[in-house]
Amino acid sequence: MENITRKTLIYKSGLGIPAINHVRGCSHGCRYPCYAYMIAHSHQQVKSYDEWCKPQLVSNAAELLSKELSHKRVLPDHIHLCLSTDPFMYRYPEVTEMTLKLIRIMNSCGVHASVLTKGILPEELADEKKYSIKNTYGISLISLNEDFRKRWEPGAAPYSERIAALKNLSENGLTTLVHMEPYPTPNIIQQNLTNILESVSFADTIQFGGWNYNNLPKQFPEFEKFYTSQAAIVMRFCKEHDIHCETF
Ligand code: SF4
């Protein structure tokens, strides 16, 4: 894996939350398409999808994070990893190692990590001596069908592995989240939403949102009605299972 260096790390995202991206590019290569790739491509930071899928690690990320946190007069409550790459990139142990190091640095300063991945959350995160129990761990999950994953998230971890790793952290008493977005319409894949919800019924929060990255969902008749009905299923499921629900 190639390395790069950066001058700064923590930034305030468009969502208003502090975030870091300690990798440039992402081997998961989502084809919805990936919003981060489209932005990087439009700013000519990457020339092609193939280049995006060859991630480069920010080798000085730990030094930058320590320096930037020590210079802050008011520390943020939490920092999000990541909005423009994946913190636990599947089959990239260098990324996992760096992410764990960065979470330890944040936690040692009293800053909590909010993590979202399509990779495997390491068991090590359950070690209370090293990692804050106030961190939040999330996976993205919009299907259980592996053919769908290979088509739309080709480099990401298989769904069963993603869920098992999240469940393990949940069973260790940690706060977990499932991000179900971009949820596909039936012309993309026919699937049963309740089966997906059942597979993550242990989660503390479920977020549900539609597929807004291209026009495919709009080709499904009455796609807006479809999303309204699916959001109602999510809300009902969450209420029945005492799960915090966010739909958008
Ligand atoms: S995991 Fe996230 S950053 Fe990586 S390609 Fe997919 S959408 Fe983009």
Amino acid letter for position 55: P
Cβ neighbours of residue 148 closer than 8 Å, sequence gap 6 or more: 184, 189, 191
Give the number of the atom of ligand 1 that is nearest the alpha carbon of residue 52: 5
pLDDT digits (tens, 9 = 90+) for 16-73: 999 999 999 999 999 999 999 999 999 999 999 999 999 999 999 999 999 999 999 9
List all residues whose CB is within 6 A of at least one atom of ligand 1.
26, 28-30, 34, 36-37, 85-86, 118
Give the number of the atom of ligand 1 that is nearest the alpha carbon of residue 117: 1
Protein residue closest via CA to atom 6 of ligand 1: 30
Query: What whole-number percentage of the chain has pLDDT above 70?
Result: 100
- Taking residues 70-85, what's their average pLDDT? 96
Give the number of the atom of ligand 1 that is nearest the alpha carbon of residue 29: 5
Confidence (pLDDT) at 123: 98
Confidence (pLDDT) at 145: 98
| pLDDT grade for 227, boundaries at 50, 70 and 90 | very high
Protein residue closest via CA to atom 8 of ligand 1: 34
| CA angle in degrees (0–180, nearest 5) for 226-209-229 | 25
Q: Name the residue among 153, 133, 243 with its Cα closest to residue 199.
A: 243
- Taking residues 87-116, what's their average pLDDT? 98
pLDDT digits (tens, 9 = 90+) for 166-225: 999 999 999 999 999 999 999 999 999 999 999 999 999 999 999 998 899 999 999 999
pLDDT digits (tens, 9 = 90+) for 206-223: 999 999 988 999 999 999
